[in-house]
Structure 1
Amino acid sequence: MKSIEVLIADDHPLLRQGLVKLLDLEEEVVVVGQARNGEETLQKAEELQPDVVLLDINMPGMNGIEVAKILREKHPAIQILVLTIHDDESYVNEMIRIGASGYLLKDAEPSQVVQAIKKVFSGETVFPSHLMERVMEHYYQLEIEYGRMKTAAALNELLTVRETEVLRCIVEGMSNKEIANCLHISEKTVKNHVTNLLRKLDVEDRTQAAVYAVSKGLLPTD
C-alpha cells in the first residue's frame, strides 16, 4: 500500500517537530518535508509533490489562505488539510470556497489529526461540526436574503412607479388624503392605487400591505 506523503507547513518549530514524531508512528504516513512560511510551502510542494499539505493559516509573509489558493490552482491533486488556532467560521468558509479538504483546530487530539490525514487522502472531507453548523447558518441566511431579493424584484415588476410611491406612503402611516397631498394627486386616484396594490400583493388591508412590504424588502432604503 502506498504511503501517504505529507508536507507540514507551520512557522512554529516545536509544532512541526511534534507532528513529525506523531506521524512517524504511523506506518501509512510519511513526512516528506517541512516548511516555515508560505513561500517555502509552495516551493516544497512543487519539489516534493506530496499527497497532503498540513497547512497553518498564520505564517509570515504569505499566509495559509493565499498558499491554499495557489496550491489549488497549480497542484489540484494535492489535498489541503488546515491545522489552525482559528475557531472561526469565516476561515472555514473561505477554505471551503478555495477547495481545502479539511480544517482542524490545533487543540484536536493526535488521533484526530492522523485520521483526518487519512480521510482527506482517500477523498473525504473533514470539518469540525460546530464550525460547519455556523457556516451552514451563514449560507441559510444568505439564501433567505436571496429569496427576499428575488421576491422583491418579482413583485416590483408588478407595481408601477406610482403604486410603489403609494405603498411607501402607506408604510409611513399616511392616510389617503395625506398621500394625495404628498403625491399631488386626487384622493380618488389614491384609492384606485390602493385597491390595485391590495390585489397585486394579495392582502386584505393597508396594514397587511405595509407589513408585507417591509418583510419582503419591497421598498429600497434611501
Structure 2
Amino acid sequence: MHPAPPTLRIMIVDDDPMIRTVFAEQINRQPRIAVAATAPDGQAALDLLGRERDKLQIDVALIDVDMPILDGSRTALEIRRLYPDITVVMLTVFASESSFAEILAQGVRGFITKDEVAADVAAALVRASRGDPVMSSRPMELLVDAYRAQERQRVLDSHIRATIDQLPVHLRNVYGCLIKGHTNRRISQQLELSENTTRIYVSELLRRLGYSSRTELMAAHLRP
C-alpha cells in the first residue's frame, strides 16, 4: 500500500470574518486539508509567520486581493520573498482587475474567485502545491483576453512596420522627423519643404499608417 499523501496546511488571509470562519471551516473539512492559521490582513499574516513559522508549517497561503493595512499584492510579494517554499494563491471577487498582471508577475500560482465551492478551492490548492497553475473561469478569461489583445497588437505593429518600410522616401523622411517629436515648422526647415507641403505629407503619412493623430503615432512608436 502507498502511504497517504501528507495533509496540506493552509493559511487563509482575508479581512472578511465569514471567510476566516465559515469558509475556512468548509475548507478544513476537505480530505487531507488543514487550515492551520487565518489572518485578517497581510501585515497580521506576516507577523504570524514571523512568530510561528516553524510551528505552523504552512504549505499554501490563500490571500485575498483587496485588504486593508497590507493588500494582497504586497502580501504575496513579501511571502514569496521571505518564505519562498510557501505556495501563494490569490482569492478575489474581481471587483478590480487592475492588479491582475502585477500579481501574476510576483510568482503566485493562480487566482481563485470567491464564488467557487470549498471542494473546488481545496482541489485547486492541492494542485497549486504541486506546482500547477490554478485559475477560476474569470481570471482565465482575463488571461485569454490579454493574450488575444497582445496578439492583435503584434500583428498590427508588424503591419505598420511593413508599411513604413514601403513608404516613399519623402514620407519616410517625414516619419523620421515625427517620431523625434518635431513640429511641422521644424520638419519644413529640416527637409527644406514649405509648411503647406509638410502638412500634406504629414496627413498622408498618418493616413497610410492608420493613425488619427501624430500623438497616436508617437504613442505607438514609444510602446515597448
TM-score (norm. length: structure 1):
0.68
Identity of matched residues, %: 23
**Residue aligning to 2:14:** 10
- What is the CA-CA distance between 1:160 and the residue it aligns to? 7.0
**Residue aligning to 2:37:** 33
Give the Cα–Cα distance (whole angstroms) in 2 for the partners of residues 71 and 133 of structure 1. Answer: 27
**Residue aligning to 2:58:** 50
Per-residue Cα deviation, 1:144-202 (whole angstroms, up to 9, x for no partner): 445628828x749x96787326998xxxxxxxxxx9643789xxxxxxxx9xxxxxxxx
Give the 3 Å change call, closer, same or farther, for CA 214–8 of structure 1 in structure 2: same
- Aligned match for 1:212, one of 205, 208, 211: 208
Give the 3 Å change call, closer, same or farther, for CA 145–159 of structure 1 in structure 2: farther
Mapped contact 1:53–1:80 kept (Cα < 8 A): yes
Is residue 84 from structure 1 mapped to residue 82 from structure 2 by the alignment? no
Q: Secondary structure at the match of 1:119?
A: helix
Per-residue Cα deviation, 1:91-134 (whole angstroms, up to 9, x for no partner): 33222111111211112122221111111112111112333233
Give the Cα–Cα distance (whole angstroms) in 1 for the partners of residues 95 and 177 of structure 2. Answer: 45
Mapped contact 1:58–1:64 kept (Cα < 8 A): yes
- What is the CA-CA distance between 1:37 and the residue it aligns to? 1.4
Mapped contact 1:68–1:98 kept (Cα < 8 A): yes
Give the 3 Å change call, closer, same or farther, for CA 88–126 of structure 1 in structure 2: farther
Mapped contact 2:30–2:119 kept (Cα < 8 A): no
TM-score (norm. length: structure 2):
0.68
Please give the root-mean-square deviation of Cα atoms over the aligned residues, in Å. 4.0
Mapped contact 1:88–1:131 kept (Cα < 8 A): no
Larger radius of gyration: 1
- What is the CA-CA distance between 1:67 and the residue it aligns to? 0.3
Q: Secondary structure at the match of 1:98?
A: coil
Give the 3 Å change call, closer, same or farther, for CA 129–13 of structure 1 in structure 2: closer
**Residue aligning to 2:222:** none
Is residue 21 from structure 1 mapped to residue 25 from structure 2 by the alignment? yes
Count of aligned pairs between the two proteins: 192
Give ranges in structure 2 of 5+ residues lacking alignment. Answer: 179-191, 220-224
- Aligned match for 2:81, one of 69, 73, 96: 73
Give ranges in structure 1 of 5+ residues lacking alignment. Answer: 169-178, 186-193, 195-205
